[in-house]
Amino acid sequence: MFKKISAIALSTGLILSAMTTPVLADKPDSPGKGNGNGNGNGGKKVENVIYMIPDGFSPDYAANYRTYKGEEAVWDRHLKGMFTTYSANADITDSAAAGTAMATGVKTNNGVVGLDTEGNELTSILDAAEEDGKSSGLVATSTITHATPASFIANVDSRNNETEIARQYIESEVDVLLGGGQNMFLPEEEGGNQEDRDLIEEAVEAGFTYTDTRDDLLDSVEDIDVNDGDRLLGLFAEAALSPELHRGETEEPSLAEMTKASIDILKEDKDGFFLMVEGSQIDWAGHANDAAWAMSDVAAFEEAVQVALEFAEEDGKTLVIVAGDHDTGGMTTGSGASSGINADVLNEVTATGAYIAAQLNEDLTNTKAIVEQYIPFGLTEEEVQFIQAADNAEIAINTVVSNHAGVGWTSTNHTGADIAIYAYGPQSEKFVGFHDNTDIPKLLAEIIKVDLGNSEE
């Protein structure tokens, strides 16, 4: 109770602003610019839910992204409210506990996926939708077995047990799985992490079509018919997919392409569908304090949201939810090292800090030459020395870039900041106000008329 009262006091001003500022209000236009459809449509039936989670994304990410983009984001006019994120055993959640809360409506301990604090298995909103006859899918730019997507299907006491999560996926009723993580499905003899099972082979036997490149994914969509029991498993990298800054150098699909492929397959189910889409690496960029990586992955996530909104506008029976699971890095809008907010300069950064740092020689004498290949401004001698003297060259490079962009950071970990929720489509007005993360799946269950059936302590 203390946490919720405290959070309400801290968030009241922001909530009141969100409720009264005209620029954020839904109004007739288009889903990207605001639409009457996004204003609720009263009790109109919802057949499909697209639940989009930008991992690590908080209001300051949203503010910096507006500067980076040069205009408002497609979700801005669909802001409905805010929610708290604490886990059962910590003020600051991890992605496993946050994902479990957002999938099941029940708090659990950090590191735990799909189990309550007593170890009991929980039913997710995806499970409940499947039980009601809907098809389902998961999309992520991490390994598809990572904590957030796992929370919608798996039940394990440790998020790190991704091989068990992969096994549970194949034995589940899910129809579409798209992301990274080939190693979590392959046996050790083929370079994977499974001891003696080839889960890709088992998936094919269970009715999945398997694809591992962008072109194969796009070609396979028309051949998948969920009404005939067809399913799709797309694993496009051994581990996670590449950061958006480097995706063009690969054969991996974009998040928007994976989202569209999933919708195109699942929409054929006459009973409707439930799709969860995660922009996974916004969080990883936050951990690295890498502002350019963060903003470029937010841009990729926005493209996926636009795909969902356009489908929802045309369909008229689809609810789109956009909500991060927690803040990562404590990003600030403006920093003491800069005279303004200049996040637009990040558009010209062409590599992650990790990629740049990996090319420095052992004594770091090539720092200036290497770093300046990937950033739009020259390094001062002071900045060169700062990078060379740092214990972590990657973080130092990212700090220099962030300072030029006017982006600050308070941490390399998660924080307890409240998170914004955006909603578009029928009954979206039910998300107006101040919530806890556990409220989201409960509201979704009410809207699509399914029973989560989870008991709370």
Positions annotated as catalytic residues are 95
Which positions ≥6 away from 408 have C-beta within 8 Å? 331, 332, 333, 334, 335, 336, 337, 402
Give the CA distances from residue 53 to residues 243, 303, 368, in Å, rounded to whole numbers and listed in that order: 17, 13, 37
> Measured between alpha carbons, how far is 315 from 339 in angstroms, rounded to an integer?
46
Residues 233, 211 contacting (CB under 8 angstroms) = yes
DSSP assignment of 134-145 equals -EEEEEEEEETT
Residues 75, 305 contacting (CB under 8 angstroms) = yes
> Measured between alpha carbons, how far is 82 from 102 in angstroms, rounded to an integer?
13
DSSP state of 243: P
H helix runs in 288-380, sequence order: 291-315, 353-357, 367-371
φ/ψ bin of 448: left (φ > 0), alpha (ψ from -120 to 50), beta (otherwise): alpha
DSSP assignment of 178-198 equals EEE-GGGTSBGGGTSSBSS--
> Measured between alpha carbons, how far is 278 from 266 in angstroms, rounded to an integer?
17
Strand segments, DSSP code E, in 64-183 are 79-84, 135-143, 176-180
Half-sphere exposure of 260 (CA within 13 A, CB side): 17
Residue 275: CB atoms within 10 Å: 28
Q: Which residues pair with 231 in a beta bridge?
A: 208
> Measured between alpha carbons, how far is 107 from 91 in angstroms, rounded to an integer?
12
Residue 263: CB atoms within 10 Å: 25
Phi and psi at 319, nearest 5°, equal -105, 125
Residues 141, 279 contacting (CB under 8 angstroms) = yes
Residues 404, 345 contacting (CB under 8 angstroms) = yes
Residues 91, 416 contacting (CB under 8 angstroms) = yes
Give the CA distances from residue 456 to residues 100, 104, 105, 118, in Å, rounded to whole numbers and listed in that order: 13, 10, 9, 11
